[in-house]
Amino acid sequence: MIAEQTRAHLRILEPKQTATEDDSVAIHVEEEIRFQTEVLDALAEGGCRPVHYDLLLLCAAVEYADRHWKRTSEWHRYLHVTMPVIELEKWLSDSVQRSLKRALKLLTGDSWSFDFVQANNVDVGRWQQMRLDVRGVKTFAIPYSEGLDSRAVAALCGDHNEALCIRVTNKRQEHRHGENVFAEIPFTVKNGTPRESSFRSRGFQFAAMTAIAADIRNIHRIVVPESGQGALGPAMLPLHRLYADYRNHPKYFRLMEKFIENLLDHQVNFEQPRLWSTKGQTLSAFLQLPNRNVADLIDTRSCWQTRHVVNVAGSRRQCGLCAACLLRRFSLHAAGVTEASGTYVIEDLMALDVYDAMAKVADADDRDNMIEYGIAGTRHFQHMASMADWSDEALRIYALEIAEALGEPEAQTLTKLRTLLSQHAMEWHTFLAAQGNQSFLLNWTGGGNNG
Give the pLDDT of residue 7: 64
Question: 3-class SS at 315?
Answer: strand
The answer, yes or no, to whether residue 37 has pLDDT greater than 70, is no
d(CA 166, CA 202): 14
The full set of domain ranges for the chain reads 2-119+136-188+200-271, 302-445
Please give the single-letter amino acid code of residue 435: Q
Do β-strands 315-316 and 311-312 pair in parallel, antiparallel, or remain unpaired? Answer: antiparallel
Length of the chain: 451
Rounded to an integer, what distance in angstroms lies between the CA atom of residue 201 and that of residue 188?
Answer: 15
Return d(Cα 449, Cα 320) in angstroms, integer. Answer: 17
CB atoms within 10 A of CB 269: 13
- 209 and 56 in contact (C-beta within 8 Å)? yes
Q: Which pLDDT tens digit goes with each residue over 243-262? A: 999 999 999 999 999 999 99
Give the pLDDT confidence of 369-421 residue by residue, as tens digits.
Answer: 889 989 999 999 999 999 999 999 999 999 999 999 999 999 999 999 999 99
| Helix extents (H) in 217-342 | 228-236, 250-264, 279-287, 295-298, 323-334
Whether 368 shows a pLDDT value over 80: the answer reads yes
Does 160 or 93 have the greater pLDDT score? 93
Res. 121: pLDDT tops 60? yes
Model pLDDT, residue 309: 67
Could you tell me if residue 266 is left (phi over 0), alpha (psi between -120 and 50 degrees) or otherwise beta? Answer: beta
* 400 in Cβ contact with 236 (< 8 Å): no
Q: ∠ CA(329), CA(334), CA(337), 5° rounding?
A: 70
In which band, very low, low, confident or very high, does the pLDDT at 126 lie, cut at 50, 70 and 90? very low
Which of 447, 72, 69 is CA-nearest to residue 242?
Answer: 72
- The answer to whether the CB of 77 falls within 8 A of the CB of 71 is yes
What is the reported pLDDT for 434? Answer: 96
